[in-house]
A and B are shown apart, each in its own frame.
Chain A
Amino acid sequence: MTATVEAAPRGGARRTSPKPAKRGPGAARRHLTPWMMLAPGIILFALFMAAPILYTFVLSFQSEVVQGLGLGSGARTREFVGFDNYLASLSDPEFLASVGRVLLYGLILVPTMLGLALLFALLLDARRTGAKGFSRVSIFLPYAVPAVISSLLWGFLYLPAVSPFYWIFERLGWDVPSMLSPGLVVFAIANIGLWGGVGFNMIVMYTSLKAVPSEIYEAARIDGASEVQIAWRIKVPIIMPALVMTALFSMIATLQVFAEPTTLRPLTNSLSTSWSPLMLVYRDAFTRDDIYSAAATSVIIALATFAISFIFLRVVQRRAFGQED
């Protein structure tokens, strides 16, 4: 990329002007060109990514303090409070409980979702599978439904009074507990994530399976390997990078679960406004109007996400790609 950027004007200049370019302005332009190319990216990144992140950091060390009754203008002042917001967040039992719930949610969701995605990808890739196009699209389709919409759809299916499933259960005389009861609600939310996420992860895995040269399979078949053996011994190890990547993305998405529980919350007594860490941040920032502690909690979540991603990659890379080095 950088090479082409620098080479292009030099070649162009030689072709259009017969005499050699003067050293001064030409050299300056040569130095400026890559920066001009990069400028849009840098400016947009600075304005819409770096600046808000920096501002979040600044906010997280501040707090708004009110005097007396707090009515009228000038009753509120902003103060620097050091790490108070961070200490308050980390010692908040609600925050710790929300982290615990999300870990449980992740333990349910990530292995199930990736397992199903891998199974579907391998089935689609198998030689004798028919109607591949249709199956691929129909497994992928739920991913195209926004999380809020899918949560509303599932919300209807979970409510016994309006759900066709519960209507059938009742006709069969089964006493099925509501999916939105306190003990089951985490499965209800994981199920929505599963429904939406399997298709996307399957496509990623399937695409990397398609990139495997078919000679490898032919060689394996000549050696007498069965389809199952080919899948388990050849395909899975070859697409390991795709599996690692989907696992990482799924874990990050798990930590950031927000839309599903927020959409389901009005339907049930089982979900609090601080069910997941991001819901807690949203509540603090917009319901309680305390953007300062919300900023601190956001920074903690971001750092935790970085740390988990980093540790995961270190551990997995050593095991999965160890033999390649």
Chain B
Amino acid sequence: MRAAFRTGAVATLAAAALIMTGCSADTGSEGTADDPIELTYWAWAPNLDKVVDLWNDEHPEIQVTVNKQDGGDPAITKLLTAIKAGSGAPDLIQAEYQKIPTLVSSDALADLSDAGASDLADQFSDGTWDSVTLGGDAVYAIPQDTGPMMFFYRDDIFQQLGLSVPTTWDEYAAVARALHAADPSKYLGTFSANDAGWFAGLAQQAKSEWWSIDGEAWGVGIDEEPTQRVAEYWGGLVQEGVIDNKPMYTPEWNAGLNDGTQVGWLGAVWGPGVLSGNAADTAGLWKAATLPTWGGDASNGNWGGSSTAVTSQSKNVEAAVEFATWLNTDPDAVQALVTETGIYPASTDAAASSLTEAPEFFSNQADFYDVAADAAASVAPFQYGPNVNVAFSAYNDEFAKAAEAKTVDAFLAAVTAMQQVTVDDLESSGFTVAD
């Protein structure tokens, strides 16, 4: 009995302690080497802590601790939970561009324009800067990396079959047919219903406007010509059977990259990391090109890319902005980001100076980063909305059905359904939606 009672008491104390640790206080706004400002930073980029160590060594008065996250989605879910709870959010967070409107509308991000972030505009391309300002005067994050889309292909198989690199989508379709006819086990690519960001990038290239701000109302333009054109194109290739319909990032897809049944991949500038991780034995066999275009119109989309944002719970916004500015624009920091985390920097000047040598996986292509710079230069502007998460999960569900049905009609129906789900969600949340 005594023992049981004691165990119970200990458990109660432990429970109480758990609750207490939730609320620790931050003090001081001016840091010194003896009493530094402590910043926490939630991020998932690999090895980011090594880059942050450079800052910590040079700046004893502002010490940053990286708290490694599982990835973009879980980190944002955790942040939104902490915002709702009123405490527990970090000072800084790595936020993908498509998450920014959602975070802003949940009041999770601090406006950095007063802390000197507005002066950074000319360091970044207009499209990138727009995605952290949402087209207004406020600055909600400092861009870190971008993901201009690129076309990766197996150069050895292309040469063997005498195929030429497609520069337009018509040529891409022709190459896909020729390749599949030459060897029915091979595909030039796959239509992945699992990667909404990938499809958003393709729609961005076609100059879609999925969301737009129309005065005091949100416009939703998913079910319109540009996206319908993209869906019809891919639906046609899947219906013909010359493009695979299985999701990317599965063991099956990895096997395809390795054994040469997936001959091409519409990826983004961070693709070498994925390819070297999933198909290490094929190093030196791939080449990168800019994305095929719609009838020669030089335009591109982004797949991925993220920024450094300061949360609304941070008590040291100025110190956080100072750090985030250094991390994303200082030449040494950007160089370290490139070598340690393998990102493609958003800062245009820093990108040019730090990206000189092709990634190891593409050592056969000395001009890799010239191609990447071309890809980055033509990225079309794209506005994300406050319910990207809803539209993206609708993409997963609707296009999964379409990819399984393998008809153009199903692909077009999926676009309509995506529009419907997105508008319904905005309206039921109370947003004003333009007709």
Contact = CB atoms under 8 A, between A and B. Distances in A.
Interface in A49-77: 64-76
Interface of A: 4-5, 8, 36-37, 39-41, 43-44, 47-48, 64-76, 155-156, 159-162, 182, 266-274, 283, 286-291
A160 B106 CA distance: 43
A69 B215 CA distance: 9
B429 A40 contact: no
A275 B435 CA distance: 32
B107 A75 contact: yes
Contacts of B11: 40, 44
Contacts of A272: 396-397, 400-401
B5 A269 contact: no
A68 B19 CA distance: 37
B421 to A, nearest CB: 10
B404 A76 contact: no
Contacts of A70: 105, 386, 429-431
A47 B13 CA distance: 13
B21 interface: no
Contacts of B134: 71
Interface of B: 1, 4-5, 7-9, 11-12, 15, 19, 73, 77, 80, 84, 101-102, 104-107, 134, 136, 138, 193-194, 213, 216-218, 245-247, 249-252, 255-256, 261, 312, 386-387, 389-390, 392-393, 396-397, 400-401, 403-404, 425, 429-432
Given A40-B12, A272-B396, A161 B252 contact: yes
B433 to A, nearest CB: 10
B429 A266 contact: no
Contact of B1 (A8, A72, A73, A155): A8
Given A36-B5, A41-B8, A273-B393, 14 more contacts: A37-B4, A66-B105, A67-B432, A72-B104, A155-B251, A159-B250, A267-B251, A272-B397, A273-B397, A283-B393, A287-B392, A288-B425, A289-B106, A291-B84
B15 A69 contact: no
A114 to B, nearest CB: 32
Contact of A69 (B7, B80, B216): B216
A76 B105 contact: yes
A71 B8 CA distance: 48
A287 B193 CA distance: 17
Contacts of B213: 69
A266 B107 contact: no
A252 to B, nearest CB: 27
B252 A267 contact: yes
B432 A69 contact: yes
A155 B254 CA distance: 14
Contacts of A65: 429-430
A67 to B, nearest CB: 7
B432 A269 contact: no
A148 to B, nearest CB: 14
Nearest to A78: B84
B429 A39 contact: no
A266 B397 contact: no
A74 B35 CA distance: 34
A70 B217 CA distance: 9
Given A70-B431, A269-B245, A161 B8 contact: no
Contacts of B101: 71
Contacts of A160: 252
The interface centre, meaning the residue of B77, B246, B312, B404 with most chain A CB atoms within 10 A of its CB, is B246
Contacts of B106: 76, 289
Contacts of A266: 194, 247, 249-250
A105 to B, nearest CB: 19
A69 B249 CA distance: 35
A270 B401 CA distance: 7
Contact of B429 (A44, A64, A74, A271): A64
Nearest to B77: A286
B404 A161 contact: no
Q: Which 7 A-B pairs have the closest CB atoms?
A: A40-B8, A269-B400, A65-B430, A161-B252, A70-B105, A66-B430, A272-B397
Given A36-B5, A162-B251, A269-B404, A47 B15 contact: yes
In this complex, the member of B261, B312, B386 whose beta carbon has the largest number of chain A beta carbons within 10 angstroms is B386
Given A69-B213, A69-B217, A273-B393, A37 B386 contact: no
